[in-house]
Amino acid sequence: MSALAWSLLVALSVLWGGSFFFVGVAVAELPPLTLVALRVGLAAAMLWAALPLVSVPPPRGLRAWRAIAVMGLLNNAIPFSLIVWSQQSLSSGLAAILNATTPLWGVLVAHALTAEEKATPARLAGVLLGFAGVAAMMGPDILGGALAAAAATAAMLAATLSYAFAGVWGRRFRALGVAPMQAAVGQVSASALMILPLALLVDRPWGLAMPSGTAVASVLGLAALSTALAYVIYFRILALAGTVNLLLVTFLVPVSAILLGVLLLGEALLARHLVGMALIGAGLAAIDGRVLRLVR
C-alpha cells in the first residue's frame, strides 16, 4: 500500500476506535436507542450535505433503495444498537476487542452464502483461534455466573455477525450501479428512519434529563467523526487499496480504543483480555494470509 493508504488506514482505525470511547461516555447519560438514532440521524444529514461537494447524485430506483435499506438494517441499525447496549456493561476497550471478531464471522457467512469464497483450512484455523480468544477473555466471567457480562458478550458477537451478513449483502451494489458514497448516505438514512420511531416509542427522549456538555460533544464526535467522516475515508481506502488491505483496520481498531479507554476513561484490562486479543489477532492474521505468505 502507498503511504497515503497507510495514513488513511491508521486514521480510520482511530475514528472507529474512538466510536467505542464516544459511546462509553454518552451511554452513561443517554439510553441506547436514542444514542443510535442521534448517531445515524446526524451522520445522514452530514453525508447528504456532502453529496454535492463530491459531485455524487443521491441513490435512485426502488431496487437500489430496497438493497440499501437492508444494508442499513444489517450494517447500522442492528449492530449499532447491540454495541451501545452492550457497552452499558463492557468497557470500551473490551467491546472493541470483541468487535474485531467480525472477519471471523465473515469467513463462515461467506462460505455458507457465496460460491466464490469457500473457507480454506488456514481460514478455518483462524476462525477457531479467534473464538478461542473470545473464550479466554470472557469465559471466566460467564462461567462465574456474571449474567451481565454474558449478555453483553452475546450482544457484541451478534453485532459482529450482523456486520458479516452486511459484507456479503453489500456485494450486490456494484451490479445495481450504486456507488460507494451513495451506499453510505443511503444506509445511514435508512437506519435513521428505522431507529427513530423505536427511540421515540421506547426511550421517550422528551422526558430525559438534559445531557451534559461532555455527552453532547461525544454524540457529535460519534456522528461527525466516527460515522460520517469514517465512511468517507473507508471508501477512499477501498478505492486506493482494495478490500483485502482494508481488512487490516480490524487489527488496529482495538489498539486505539484501548488507548483512549485507558488514558481518558480510566479503564483497565486484565491479562486474560490481552491474551484473548492476541489470539483474535492471530486468527485474523491467519484469515488475512499475508503473514503465512511472508513466512513461505
Cell numbers 438534559 correspond to 210
pLDDT tens, residue by residue, 40-74: 999 999 999 999 988 889 999 999 999 999 999 99
Question: What is the DSSP-derived secondary structure letter of residue 74?
Answer: I
| pLDDT value at 193 more than 90 | yes
In angstroms, the Cα distances linking 278 to 21, 76, 97, 126, 136 are: 21, 27, 10, 12, 10
Please state, in angstroms and rounded to a whole number, the distance separating the CA atoms of residues 83 and 159: 7
Share of the chain above pLDDT 90, in %: 45
Please enumerate in sequence order all residues whose Cβ is within 8 A of that of 190, keeping only pairs 6 or more positions apart, or say none: 65, 68, 69, 71, 72, 73, 76, 77
| pLDDT value at 247 more than 80 | no
Share of the chain above pLDDT 70, in %: 98
| pLDDT value at 183 more than 80 | yes
Average pLDDT over residues 14-43: 95
With cut-offs at 50, 70 and 90, classify the pLDDT of residue 30.
very high
Total-model pTM: 0.90
With cut-offs at 50, 70 and 90, classify the pLDDT of residue 242.
low
- Count Cβ neighbours within 10 Å for each residue of 35-64 and write b for 16 or more, e otherwise: bbbbbbbbbbbbbeebbeeeebeebeeeeb
C-alpha grid cell, residue 289:
494470509
Return mean pLDDT, the chain: 89
The pLDDT of residue 244 is: 62
With cut-offs at 50, 70 and 90, classify the pLDDT of residue 243.
low
The pLDDT of residue 234 is: 83
Closest CA to 284 of 253, 239, 241, 242: 253
Closest CA to 165 of 206, 215, 109, 219: 109
Question: What is the DSSP-derived secondary structure letter of residue 115?
Answer: S
The pLDDT of residue 223 is: 96
Q: What number of CA atoms fall less than 13 Å from residue 23's CA on the CB side?
A: 33
| pLDDT value at 160 more than 80 | yes
Closest CA to 253 of 270, 236, 230: 230
pLDDT tens, residue by residue, 276-290: 889 988 888 888 777
The pLDDT of residue 29 is: 95
For 193, the 3-state DSSP assignment is helix
User: How many helices (H) and strands (E) are present in the chain, helices listed first?
Assistant: 15, 0
Question: In a 10 Å sphere around its CB, with 0-12 CB exposed, 13-18 middle and 19+ buried, how is residue 16 labelled?
Answer: buried
Q: What does R_g of the chain's alpha carbons equal in angstroms?
A: 19
